[in-house]
Structure 1
Amino acid sequence: MATNDRGHLLTEQPNPASAALDQLETRAIVELFCEEERCSQLAVAAAAPALSAATDAIVARLRSGGRLFYLGAGTSGRLGVLDAAECPPTFCSPPELVQGVLAGGAPALLRSSEGLEDRAEAGQADLEARGFCSADALVGIAAGGTTPYVHGALRHAGGLGALTIGMACVPTSQAPMPCDIDIRLLTGPELVTGSTRLKAGTATKMALNILSTGVMVKLGKVHGNRMVDVAVTNSKLEDRALRILRDLAGVERPRGMQLLEAAGGSVKRALLMAATDLDAAAAAAALDAAGGHLRRALAALGAQLSH
């Protein structure tokens, strides 16, 4: 196995603040971690322009029928899988719309298989296996910015004409990535040297939250700050749906249950029905005509919610 010195990378450098980490009392360790984690938030805030550009570019792809893929190895890949898996229950999006691709597949979620990240051709192969095409968007996640698995996937996606986004926690000068939009989350050296599941992982999770949520908001999955496309699949989510109907449309629970049942569990459709005299089919058609945006559908019908 060929090796390269990666000691120059920001994520691999020792952190002076934790030079005596193994000698600290427990409370001091906890306080040091709490202080260092502030770097994650600052790093994400500094990347706001790139995150904004990436969000708009992804939305454009998805509106044209494309899909969003997160791809990475180790912690980076697992975080992508996590964010993708949360989209269907939160936004009622089809499971294929946002996909997480992890080096090593499902077994690597539970058992480390970081050795697979050295295979650039595997990144391309995993995308090809999912039918990745020019209409799609790829976010290649690599904390240190050098992962061959991610670089191989980004090069393949770029060659197809797909949207390519790189996400790393080192400066571009240390590890360039072949991408259209470059997101850099500069969290600094980790308290445990090289352990990028720490600050780098936190910042990556934050950035992915922002990307997926921003995209779904732009696609009409949120009204105000309510997840009006939530999938009513258990008692907790049913309660949330009924509270949304109460808070936005002034509908009490018994009537809310009737509307939800008539709307086939669609909160957005039930809200439109509550604000108009439309039945479920007509409400669905109105939403389709408005591109799935409840506010646009209400405006087109000259209706409004009571709250």
Structure 2
Amino acid sequence: MPLPRTERIADAETALDRLDAGAALSRMIEVQSAAIDSLRHVTDKLEAAAQLVAAALSGRGRLVYAAAGSSGLMALADAAELPGTFGIAQDRIALHMAGGVPADAVMPGDTEDDTGAARAVLDGLREGDVVIVLSASGTTPYPTAIAQGAGARGARVVAIACNPGTPLLAAADVAICLATPPEALAGSTRMGAGTAQKAALNLISTRAGILMGHVHDGMMVNLVADNAKLRGRAAGIVARVAGVDDAAAARALDRAQGAVKPACLIAAGATPEVAHALLDAHGGHLRPALGALITQQDA
């Protein structure tokens, strides 16, 4: 029986330990580049996943990640960035990693088989949630059990795996199979498969942010400006969107209590009350809110 793609072993002549330094590094780069290219074949699935995420977060649902091992680390990296990047409330995002988030670089392997812990995750799911489950093999017991039970709790499932025809993918509403090449280091899915999974999560969450109106002209207009760098970035966004100088942008941000979208409208001439009313009327999307403000001003 042939090995799954993620477990296949390289030909002896391309084995990393037989290559010189330059060739070994080039081989690892080639595998990860090919892993990224696998995303081009699933853009329709990535869009479907983003639509589910955006609908959940625009409504009453949560975005829930569930994975083990290296896949869990990829999920952690994506989940931890979303509140700051897109202003999503932390209680709308949940991360469940088999064995918990590792401390001091300790990540026991046996936790990925803990289906009892998976049942505990299922007990916390509710209708309207979207669960993104990840497993390079597509057979890891912990995320697979969550994928198989989530629908009964009213949640939708997005599954990301790198082997076709696997239980994880079979249990999903949106099944994303990333056709990554065999790993440069056989079985080490933190490399090619992990790279592809992380990129897939980046694409899904960023596209969802766009659908929710948190991106305007390629800028993060719903960011949380909680340090000096980001406060400067927020002021620059307001200045650029509203066409005002830095001082006017800073004043608008103060009147908007640091929120970028209403600050853009305030800098463009709206009162805080009108700014919030326009955003509410247009589902939090800045572009149509700005258009409506201009129409009001021209009337």
Smaller-chain TM-score bracket: over 0.9
When normalised by structure 2's length, the TM-score is 0.92
Tell me the amino acid that sits aligned with residue 127 of structure 2.
S
Residue matched to 1:263 = 256
Residue matched to 1:143 = 136
Residue matched to 2:117 = 122
User: Does the 8 Å contact 2:157/2:173 carry over to 1?
Assistant: yes
Residue matched to 1:166 = 159
Tell me the amino acid that sits aligned with residue 141 of structure 2.
P
SS in 2 for 1:195: coil
Rounded to whole Å, the distance in 2 between the matches of 1:173 and 1:89 is 34
User: Does the 8 Å contact 2:98/2:114 carry over to 1?
Assistant: no
Rounded to whole Å, the distance in 2 between the matches of 1:235 and 1:192 is 42
Residue matched to 1:216 = 209
Rounded to whole Å, the distance in 2 between the matches of 1:270 and 1:303 is 18
Of 277, 290, 293, which aligns to 1:298?
Answer: 290
Could you tell me how far 1:168 is from its partner in structure 2? 0.1
Deviations 1:136-166 (A, max 9, x none): 0111100000011011111221112311111
Tell me the amino acid that sits aligned with residue 250 of structure 2.
M
Residue matched to 1:45 = 40
> Does 1:27 find its partner at 2:22?
yes
CA distance 1:71–1:297, shift in 2 (3 Å): same
Of 253, 275, 278, which aligns to 1:283?
Answer: 275
What percentage of residue pairs aligned between the two structures are identical? Answer: 38
Rounded to whole Å, the distance in 1 between the matches of 2:265 and 2:278 is 9
Residue matched to 2:199 = 206
SS in 2 for 1:211: helix
Of 44, 50, 54, which aligns to 2:49?
Answer: 54
Could you tell me how far 1:13 is from its partner in structure 2? 0.8
When normalised by structure 1's length, the TM-score is 0.90
Rounded to whole Å, the distance in 2 between the matches of 1:177 and 1:253 is 53
Tell me the amino acid that sits aligned with residue 157 of structure 2.
T
Tell me the amino acid that sits aligned with residue 296 of structure 1.
P
Could you tell me how far 1:62 is from its partner in structure 2? 2.5
Give the root-mean-square deviation of aligned CA atoms: 2.0
CA distance 1:266–1:292, shift in 2 (3 Å): same
Stretch moving more, 62-71 or 18-27: 18-27
SS in 2 for 1:107: coil
Residue matched to 1:250 = 243
Instruction: Pick the structure with more helix per residue.
Output: 2
What is the count of residue pairs matched by the alignment?
296
Of 196, 202, 227, which aligns to 2:220?
Answer: 227
Unaligned runs of 5+ in 1: none
